[in-house]
């Protein structure tokens, strides 16, 4: 598994992350199988959130690996905070409480990366700054970032926090490419020329901020996974063609498509199937040609100007 440097930090982590949202549905033995398999194939970065399965995903993760210093030093743990039932909350009190809850459930003394989970319209950056400083000085959190935020939201936060914001978790897949589309359609009247996120892709590269791509196999909120989905025959035919060339699965090619971007984007894959994860992990060794990357992009229904 190839490694990437996470933002401006000293963390060298696996190019692919395992998203643990669905871990809460597994038994302890099933979860252990998933996590240890991930480590065996070189995935050492695990993405959590305090809301995943109401906190159960973090609990099962810690129980499944029998969390102890020896296993802890082999992995990087990221979690997110800020979503509550019916609203968002970036208050200092909630951030501190949420981190303490995650630490307890994960049975660890520290979190490698804490992300603010979706923007809070009522957030006060001074409070976030106080929370981050307290968490950093106490050793509870080593690095910080955001999720689903645009450049000006990040800049507002950066005005107050002392710590670098090293990552931004955003939705990206072959079938969800708005952050790429707008850059290709500059100065056209095409619908995809609309800049919906403030050029977050270019902003991230300029500021050495790692984009973590969530839902890398989803076609959207309603059409589900695009792999082997009959609604997308042209895309699946192209993925099949290229997967046969590289002797991997279509999921691995879909992952390698994200990895091919020079922004060094880290896909967050959420499969709880060890065999599928093993196959996806092979994507880190594949470098698609420029022609292949654009062929896949066009096969998903995207047009070039």
DSSP string, 32-84: HHHHHHHHHTT--EEE--TTGGGGHHHHHHHHHTT--HHHHTT-EEEEEE-EE
Domain-located, residue 165 = yes
The CA-based diameter of the chain, rounded to the nearest angstrom, is 56
Residue 277 domain-assigned (yes or no): no
Q: What is the pLDDT of residue 77?
A: 98
Structure tokens at 75: 């992995």
Which CATH number does the domain housing residue 162 bear? 3.20.20.100
Q: Which domain holds residue 146?
A: 3-224+258-271
The burial class, CB within 10 Å (0-12 / 13-18 / 19+), for 101 is middle
From CA 278, how far away is CA 1, in angstroms rounded?
11
Strands 111-117, 3-5: pairing is: unpaired
The verdict on residue 279 lying in a domain is no
Q: Is residue 276 part of a domain?
A: no
Residue 290 to residues 60, 185, 236, 256, 262, Cα–Cα distance (Å): 41, 18, 19, 12, 11
For residue 300, being part of any structural domain is answered with no
What is the phi/psi pair of residue 131, to 5°?
A: -65, -45
Q: Does 253 fall in a domain?
A: no
Q: How far apart are CA 19 and CA 295, in angstroms?
A: 28
Could you tell me whether strands 87-88 and 12-14 are parallel, antiparallel, or unpaired per DSSP bridges? Answer: unpaired
284 lies in some domain: no
Of the candidates 114, 168, 167, 156, the one whose C-alpha atom is nearest the C-alpha of residue 138 is 114
233 inside domain = no
As a whole number of angstroms, the distance between CA 139 and CA 299 comes to 47
> Pseudo-torsion of CA 156, 157, 163, 168, nearest 10°?
-100
Q: Name the residues annotated as catalytic.
A: 52
The C-alpha torsion from 268 through 113 and 72 to 134, rounded to 10°, is: -160
Q: How many structural domains is the chain composed of?
A: 1
Sign of CA dihedral 75, 45, 167, 48: negative
- Cα–Cα distance, 227 to 243 (Å, whole number): 12
Per-residue pLDDT for the chain (305 aa), expressed as one digit of tens each? 999 999 999 999 999 999 999 999 999 999 999 999 999 999 999 999 999 999 999 999 999 999 999 999 999 999 999 999 999 999 999 999 999 999 999 999 999 999 999 999 999 999 999 999 999 999 999 999 999 999 999 999 999 999 999 999 999 999 999 999 999 999 999 999 999 999 999 999 999 999 999 999 998 766 799 999 999 999 999 999 999 999 999 999 999 999 999 999 999 999 999 999 999 999 999 999 999 999 999 999 999 99
Cβ neighbours for 203, distance < 8 A, ≥ 6 positions apart: 151, 154, 209
């Amino acid at each position: 598994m190839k490694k990437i440097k996470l933002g401006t930090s000293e963390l060298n982590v696996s190019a692919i992350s395992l998203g643990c949202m669905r871990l809460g549905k597994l038994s302890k033995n099933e979860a252990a199988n998933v996590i240890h398999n991930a480590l065996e194939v070189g995935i050492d970065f695990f993405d959590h959130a305090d809301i995943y399965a109401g906190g159960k995903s973090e609990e099962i993760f810690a129980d499944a690996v029998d969390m102890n210093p020896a296993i802890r030093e082999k992995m990087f743990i990221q979690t997110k905070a800020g979503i509550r039932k019916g609203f968002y909350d970036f208050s200092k009190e909630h951030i501190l409480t949420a981190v303490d809850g995650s630490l307890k459930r994960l049975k660890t003394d520290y979190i490698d990366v804490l992300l603010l989970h979706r923007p809070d319209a009522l957030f006060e950056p001074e409070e976030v700054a106080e929370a981050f400083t307290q968490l950093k000085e106490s050793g509870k959190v080593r690095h910080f970032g955001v999720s689903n935020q645009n450049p000006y939201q990040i800049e507002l936060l950066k005005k107050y926090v002392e710590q670098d914001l090293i990552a931004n978790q955003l939705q990206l897949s072959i079938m969800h490419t708005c952050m790429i589309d707008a850059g290709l359609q500059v100065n056209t009247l095409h619908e995809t020329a609309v800049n919906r996120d403030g050029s977050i892709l270019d902003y991230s590269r300029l500021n050495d901020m790692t984009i973590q791509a969530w839902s890398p196999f989803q076609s959207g909120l309603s059409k589900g996974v695009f792999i082997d989905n009959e609604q997308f025959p042209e895309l699946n035919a192209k993925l099949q063609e290229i997967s046969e060339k590289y002797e991997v699965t279509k999921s691995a090619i879909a992952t390698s498509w994200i990895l091919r971007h020079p922004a060094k984007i880290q896909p967050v894959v959420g499969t709880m199937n060890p065999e599928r994860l093993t196959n996806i992990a092979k994507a880190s060794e594949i470098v698609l040609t420029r022609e292949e990357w654009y062929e896949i992009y066009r096969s998903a229904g995207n047009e070039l100007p």
